[in-house]
């Protein structure tokens, strides 16, 4: 047993779990996974046993339990600074935090109409005026941050940061729903999909057998 564990939902469906899991995985530390199947009769009870918030992910350490995704990322960034989950430069750090918080708090119609489902494709579905506007906004965000901060690597701020962890489920959703994007955006999507942590998550998601029909 490790001294640190993360409680997550199904890897095929749980976008918030993916965000927290990517952050801890990038820290390069040993940790245990506690996977709770979603949409089951006892799911809520099991979630509340791990956190009164009744949500995933939950980070469990020896002396602290953290139940909110951005707080988990913040804690990991401060506890394991060598992982460089935030950029070092103060100005760049501020931009990275801003765009991470924007993903955390915004784009609700996209999350409602284009949920994460790694194992299947729904080409052309989930669209609508508000969703199309959000897709265009996200594409612009990715292009801008790649242009101004991505010179030293393939991610939004060059190296992998919390911002990439926050947008990783959107990358997965864009693939599931076959969203047409410009070449620069496709390059970013490819970088996220090809990183070892994302490939590990995808392999585990594809091995899951539970089916939850959202679309």
State residue 83's pLDDT score: 98
Output the pLDDT for position 2: 80
Tell me the C-alpha distance between 27 and 54, whole Å: 25
SS3 state of residue 150: coil
The answer to whether residue 1 scores a pLDDT higher than 80 is no
**pLDDT of residue 25 exceeding 60:** yes
pLDDT average, residue stretch 31-49: 95
> pTM for the full model?
0.96
Q: Answer yes or no: is pLDDT of 214 > 80.
A: no
Take residue 17 and report the two structure tokens written for it: 């779990």
At 13 the pLDDT is 97
164 contacts: CB under 8 Å, gap ≥ 6 = 22, 155, 156, 157, 192
Domains of the chain in start order, with CATH, are 5-83 (3.40.30.10), 90-200 (1.20.1050.10)
**Residue 70: predicted pLDDT:** 97
Task: Look at residue 47 and tell me whether its pLDDT is greater than 90.
Answer: yes
Q: From 7, 16, 19, 31, select the one nearest 79 (Cα to Cα).
A: 31
Q: Distance between CA atoms of 51 and 34, rounded to whole angstroms?
A: 13
Query: Is the per-residue pLDDT at 111 higher than 60?
Result: yes
The pLDDT score that the predictor gives to residue 205 is: 98
Cα gap 168→165, rounded to integer Å: 5
Query: From start to end of the chain, where are the E strands?
Result: 5-8, 32-35, 58-60, 65-66
């Amino acid at each position: 047993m490790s001294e640190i564990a993360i409680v997550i939902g199904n890897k095929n469906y749980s976008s918030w779990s993916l965000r927290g899991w990517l952050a801890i995985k990038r820290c390069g530390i040993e940790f245990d996974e506690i996977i709770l199947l979603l949409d089951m009769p006892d799911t809520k009870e099991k979630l509340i046993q791990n956190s009164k918030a009744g949500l995933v992910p939950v980070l469990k350490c020896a002396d602290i339990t953290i139940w909110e995704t951005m707080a988990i990322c913040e804690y990991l960034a401060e506890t394991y600074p060598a992982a460089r989950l935030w950029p070092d430069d103060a100005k760049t750090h501020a931009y990275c935090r801003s765009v991470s918080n924007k993903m955390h708090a915004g784009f609700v119609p996209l999350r409602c109409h284009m949920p994460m489902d790694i194992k299947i494709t729904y080409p052309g579905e989930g669209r609508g005026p508000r969703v199309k506007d959000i897709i265009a906004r996200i594409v612009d965000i990715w292009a801008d941050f790649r242009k101004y901060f991505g010179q030293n690597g393939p991610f939004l701020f060059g190296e992998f940061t919390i911002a990439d962890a926050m947008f990783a489920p959107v990358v997965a959703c864009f693939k599931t729903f076959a969203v047409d994007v410009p070449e620069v955006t496709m390059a970013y999507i490819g970088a996220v999909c090809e990183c070892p942590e994302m490939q590990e998550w995808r392999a585990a998601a594809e091995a899951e057998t539970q089916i939850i029909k959202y679309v």
